Amino acid sequence: MGKKTIKGKDLVAIGFTDGRTIGIALNLMSRIYKKRERDHKLQVLSEVLANPQAFLQDEHLGKLAAELFQEGKPAVKETPLEKTGKAWQTYGRSHIEKGAIQQMELAMRLPVTAAGALMPDAHQGYGLPIGGVLATRNAVIPYGVGVDIGCRMCLTLYDLPASFIKGQHQKLKTMLEENTRFGRAEFSDHIDHEILERKEFQEIRVVRELKDRAWKQLGSSGSGNHFVEFGVVEILDPDNEFGLPAAQYVAILSHSGSRGLGANIAEHYTKLARETTVLPRAAQNLAWLDLDTEAGQEYWLAMTLAGDYASACHHQIHQRLGRALGEKPLARVENHHNFAWKEHLTDGTEVIVHRKGATPAGKGVLGIIPGSMIHPGFIVRGKGEMASINSASHGAGRAMSRTKANQTFSNSEMKKTLRTHGVTLIGGGLDEAPMAYKDINTVMAAQQELVEVVGSFSPKIVRMDS
């Protein structure tokens, strides 16, 4: 037995210096390598100590390697911000809170910033403001994308008249209750999807550890402002891309993101970005990863996977509801609004465009800009306005915080408002009261040069987390 046991002094003898890494190494050897001889254990640990980066993706040695890798790094010098930020365009400035403006001003002082814009639904967030669009040179900012990577809108139209909702109101309400899951709730009848076969789930350690959770949450929606709802679409443009008559149609609209998968990816790489790009305290949440580094490339792959996973969740939501309806879709529109894209500025420069709560609005690109529970949303077609970096708002935007909404409104007031507008709500809370949001018509008026309206969507039966 003695020939297999190693102690802390043995690790000090081969070059270990930090108490934490010694503890991790001893624990690892006692659990995973307990049947191995003492010399073999010391040989393995010597190899990890000599080149920790080579073992970062190892299933068993990865945690120890990560600690040693960080331990061996030289102190990172703080990167200063530019004294004068680059110019940027704001839409609907008079309706945007001061905190969001200040966050955008800070982002424009990053040395990697190439261009920026602020959408009319903007409000203060973390890192970039919600509604902020930032183009950077060969750098990706995890908090510029956001925690809910690939948060997305998805709209499906059906060949059913608007009167169908009123006539089948209870049936549709039951469909939402039976075929959607929010927050921590999961389906018992999981539907497989090819997204789970993606190579990133095997090749990226942080993603690999999240695969089981991703499988359990597939097809579900988050909490907060995420929703699934039945409503009525009115096609206003007779020359629409769907080839549909200008008329009214029953539709399903969903808003959700990449669930625990995206949140954990964001947390992991934001921490890594802060360690590798040390910024002044006020700008710490804007730390970036260079895309020429392994960490930057890895985040890009993980972010892309999370965005595709969010899309897969929406497709399953609409698949379940479409099956319950017994109808085939006429058309579908969807778009991310918490993501980063490789695009080009007018001078041909390739940049990384972060849209944190902003809708892609390149020329001819379709998107969805929701209103609130009681106000219409819009199907829009981008005009390709470069001053906005081909972007538009991602919704009406909050007029007050969740805390203030809870303090301001009462349940009876909210119920009365919903009843007045003929909207049925399943779940939801006062923090999502429609009165806590900006006027969508004011927001749309501020971005007429960015998008044109193809159609409108009016919510009728809304499901949110309870």
Encode pLDDT of 382-392 as tens digits: 999 999 999 99
- Domains of the chain (ranges; CATH) run 8-71 (no CATH), 144-463 (3.90.1860.10)
- As a whole number, mean pLDDT of residues 229-238 equals 98
Residue 140: beta bridge partners? 289
- Does the pLDDT of residue 46 top 80, yes or no? yes
pLDDT of residue 466: 86
pLDDT of residue 19: 82
- Does the pLDDT of residue 222 top 70, yes or no? yes
3-class DSSP assignment, residue 183: coil
- Beta strands 424-426 and 451-463 are parallel
Q: Looking at 190, 255, 394, 421, which residue is catalytic?
A: 394
Residue 463: beta bridge partners? 228, 426
- Does the pLDDT of residue 18 top 80, yes or no? no
pLDDT of residue 74: 65
Q: What is the pTM of this model?
A: 0.85
pLDDT of residue 318: 98
- b/e 369-408 (16+ beta carbons within 10 angstroms → b): bbbbbbbbbbbbbbbebeebbbbbbbbbbbbbebeebeee
Crossing angle of helices 38-50/62-71, nearest 10°? Answer: 50
pLDDT of residue 1: 44
pLDDT of residue 237: 97
DSSP class of residue 5 equals: -
- Does the pLDDT of residue 451 top 50, yes or no? yes
3-class DSSP assignment, residue 128: coil
What is the maximal distance between C-alpha atoms in the chain? 83
Q: Mark whether 226 is an active-site residue.
A: no
- Does the pLDDT of residue 2 top 60, yes or no? no
